[in-house]
């Protein structure tokens, strides 16, 4: 299968195994991943966030309920919310999630935004699990016609050591030794929160002012 499907498959396998109830996809673009997750039994809340409202609206109709869904209602209800906003902004709409995915998002962030995002994601949103994928620059030698970055909007493409040192900051561990091969084409990191957030801290965060713009709110 194409690479983007393999990335989605990675997320779907996680969902199959760990059964998260509240899932958000940051930089969800045309909502393709949300679309594949929308009728997963365990999922009760599905949220997408992107800075680009036009890209969100393009295929958003694929997430809205069809008459058939009302005729044959599923056992559990599903709420889908799409927001326009930046991943560098704190909004209570993204608190309390079991899983937050960031698929090929971080390489689109400028250095300042990337630093802010790390704090927003791990400090503020603090979901139980985070899955982040980003291109592996070392793989580029295997890509025909790839001279600079893989995409003109990419602000960087990290090799494995660079990605691992970014994630190491949050406590994932020592960077692996460089190996002779180039590694995977998409590098993926999975983080699991190893502490329980206090009610007080969560309450304080819930009081933040909403800043995202709601583009879609659908209840199945």
Find the length of the chain. 220
Q: Is residue 84 a contact point for ligand SAM (CB under 6 A)?
A: no
Distance between terminal CA atoms of the chain?
30
Q: Is residue 119 a contact point for ligand SAM (CB under 6 A)?
A: no
Which of 50, 91, 98, 157 is the binder for ligand SAM (CB under 6 A)?
50
Which of 34, 47, 93, 105 is the binder for ligand SAM (CB under 6 A)?
105
Which of 13, 19, 41, 52 is the binder for ligand SAM (CB under 6 A)?
52
Instruction: Using alpha carbons, select from 120, 148, 147, 128 the residue that is nearest to residue 195.
Output: 128
Which residue in this structure is represented by tokens 């999975």? Answer: 190
Q: Is residue 136 a contact point for ligand SAM (CB under 6 A)?
A: no
Within residues 11-40, the interface with ligand SAM by CB under 6 A covers 27-29, 32-33
Which of 69, 108, 150, 161 is the binder for ligand SAM (CB under 6 A)?
108
Which of 34, 46, 78, 86 is the binder for ligand SAM (CB under 6 A)?
86
What does the binding site for ligand SAM look like in residue numbers (CB under 6 A)? 4, 27-29, 32-33, 49-52, 55, 86-88, 103-105, 108-109, 113
């Amino acid at each position: 299968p194409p690479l983007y499907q393999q990335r989605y498959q990675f997320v779907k396998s996680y969902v199959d195994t760990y059964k998260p109830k509240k899932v958000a996809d940051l930089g969800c673009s045309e909502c393709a991943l949300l679309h594949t997750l929308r009728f997963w039994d365990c999922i009760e809340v599905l949220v997408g966030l992107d800075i680009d409202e036009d890209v969100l609206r393009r295929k958003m109709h694929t997430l809205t309920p069809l008459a058939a869904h009302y005729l044959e209602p599923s056992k559990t209800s599903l709420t889908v919310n799409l927001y326009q906003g930046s991943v560098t902004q704190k909004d209570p709409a993204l608190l309390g999630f079991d899983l937050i995915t960031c698929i090929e998002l971080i390489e689109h962030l400028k250095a300042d935004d990337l630093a802010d995002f790390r704090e927003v994601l791990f400090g503020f949103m603090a979901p139980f699990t985070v899955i982040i994928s980003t291109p592996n620059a070392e793989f580029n030698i295997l890509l025909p016609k790839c001279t600079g970055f893989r995409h003109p909007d990419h602000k960087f493409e990290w090799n494995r050591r660079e990605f691992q040192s970014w994630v190491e900051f949050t406590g994932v561990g020592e960077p692996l030794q460089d190996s002779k091969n180039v590694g995977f084409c998409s590098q993926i990191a999975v983080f699991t929160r190893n502490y329980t957030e206090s009610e007080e801290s969560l309450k304080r965060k819930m009081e933040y002012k909403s800043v995202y713009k709601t583009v879609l709110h659908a209840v199945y």
